[in-house]
Amino acid sequence: MNICFFPRCQLQELATQLIDLWNLMDTPDEERDLFNHVTCNISASVDEVTTPGALARDLIKQAEVEVDRLDQLKASRMKEIAFKKQSELEEIYARAHVETNPESARERIMSLIDSGNVEPTELLADMDSQIAKAKEEAFSRKDILDRVEKWMSASEILELDENLNKAFHEFKKNLRRHMQLCLQVLD
């Protein structure tokens, strides 16, 4: 964090950090609205800031506290978002019948986030890229998977037909035996 001693500069820096953290963590608008008074002056010059108290020390302190709070939440929230994206990736691969190792992927995500060696935005961008590639691969397999699904449906129908034929022949055989027994009893 660059240190800036001018209130407008500090406020702009804090507003930028707030926006970056909000975007990173998909913060809902309701939560963002609580700090509109900070972010609305992000690109304003000193002359353009006309709201009374907009550069007050307590306002700057309030923004600093929020940035610190969001920084602390970032690691746990990043894991949550990364795992959500990993689940989406696993679902895409499962529908495309691509085998993956979800446990090792989740362990890799945990170690990357815990180590702090990766920028969270880069990790999420990489995961979005993986999801896009998985969707492309799933789309390229769609025709084949549709054909396999139709073939499997046809196979199930044929198997059902064979089972019905067997049951029908078994019924006819049992009916013949029953009729023969009835005829023997009548003689």
Question: What is the tens place of the pLDDT at every residue in 3-51?
Answer: 444 555 777 788 888 888 888 778 888 988 888 777 766 665 555 555 5
* 74 assigned to some structural domain: yes
Q: What is the pLDDT of residue 7?
A: 53
Q: Confidence band (pLDDT; 50, 70, 90) for 61?
A: confident
72-123 pLDDT tens trace: 888 778 888 889 999 999 999 998 888 889 899 989 888 888 887 888 778 8
> How crowded is residue 126: how many other Cβ atoms within 10 Å of its Cβ?
14
Q: Is the dihedral of CA 117, 123, 129, 135 positive or negative?
A: positive
* 173 assigned to some structural domain: no
Q: What is the C-alpha separation between 148 and 146, in angstroms, rounded?
A: 5
Q: What is the pLDDT of residue 135?
A: 94
| Domain of residue 103, residue span | 7-142
* 79 assigned to some structural domain: yes
Q: What is the pLDDT of residue 126?
A: 93
Q: How far apart are the first and last CA of the chain?
A: 107
- What total of structural domains would you count in the chain? 1
* 58 assigned to some structural domain: yes
Q: Which residue has the higher pLDDT, 84 or 62?
A: 84
* 1 assigned to some structural domain: no
* 150 assigned to some structural domain: no
Q: Is the pTM of this model over 0.85?
A: no
Pair of tokens at residue 105? 């992927």
